[in-house]
A and B are shown apart, each in its own frame.
Chain A
Amino acid sequence: MQDTSALSRIYDEYGARLYHYLLAMLRSKDDAEEVLQNLFMRLAYKQKRLENVRNLTGYLFSAARNEAIRFIRKCKRHREIMGNFRNVALLESGDNRDILPEEVDRINRALTMLPQYQREVIVLKVYEGLSFREIARITKVFPNTAASRYRYGVEKLRSLLQREE
């Protein structure tokens, strides 16, 4: 069997994080899982090259984004639903018992209503702790654009949450 242990370690460290990012991009659990599988297929061909990648986090998130875009272009069904409102559980309460299920629903609804380019920047900034320079590299925009997408996204999120209160 080809040694996939290095790839397995990458999955253990990044699998859930990449899935979350893909979920933010695609707003569908099934699609995010499918794209994650496609991504690991592609990585399997490049296992040797991965050893020489300096910034693995940046590389993997860029690769995940490219894979998601490829999927969106290929999938007609996805294009049809991209513009429509689609609620997906992007966040969970986890072990925090102070968070009510309604609050989780509310934040997920608000996040889902953001444009995809704002949602992905929020996920990369808040949950991955990446700088705007790193986010810019992944999303192929200028750092200032990444920063303003984040700022507008957060403002919109705040206003959506206030509207629901």
Chain B
Amino acid sequence: MMEEYLKKFQPAKPSPGLKDNIFRAVRAELSSIANGRFALIDKIWSNQLFWATATTLLVCLVASNLYHHEVCQKRVAGLYAPKVLETLTVEKDNGKELAGDLIALLGEGNFAVIRKLWEMSLREPTTPTMLEFRNELMEKWFG
């Protein structure tokens, strides 16, 4: 009976502009995180690591939740992808082919194949810098 009585009333509603405010804040937060991650990538990239690291970088970008972020896509397409292409071309005989496949996979967001690539990249010869970098990424992005 009390339940019926309570149902006569409507629940109080939030302020009309609340959704806009929340999503503005959410987008700002995600942008700031994305920029923070790119700062880390830039730092690593400047160390001139070999192609497996380049692959790892892109795999991490895709695997991270921020792949669909506009900033992230622009950076992948405009900055990292050409660098990966260049690095692969220089360091591997079949570099161009590999780079093309990799970039196509990244574009499709094919996670199963990307995961395979990630695992393959981990089997490549590693340097202390790369190990350190990989651990840093694993901790930061995959918890």
Contacts and interface: CB of A to CB of B under 8 A. Distances in A.
A12 to B, nearest CB: 8
Contacts of A11: 19, 22-23
Q: Identify whether the interface residues of A are mostly helix, strand, loop, or mixed.
A: helix
A113 to B, nearest CB: 15
A20 B23 contact: no
Given A20-B12, A89-B12, A36 B22 contact: yes
B10 A4 contact: no
Contact of A125 (B3, B9, B18, B21): B3
Interface stretch (B50-58, B65-73, B89-97): B65-73
Interface string A98-118: 010000100100000000000
Contacts of A23: 12
Interface residues of A, number: 45
Given A154-B2, A157-B2, A4 B27 contact: yes
A4 B3 contact: no
Contacts of B72: 2
Interface string A18-55: 01100100000100110011001100111110000000
Most buried by A among B23, B27, B34: B23
B2 A158 contact: yes
Interface of B: 2-3, 6-15, 18-19, 21-23, 25-27, 29-30, 34, 65-66, 68-70, 72
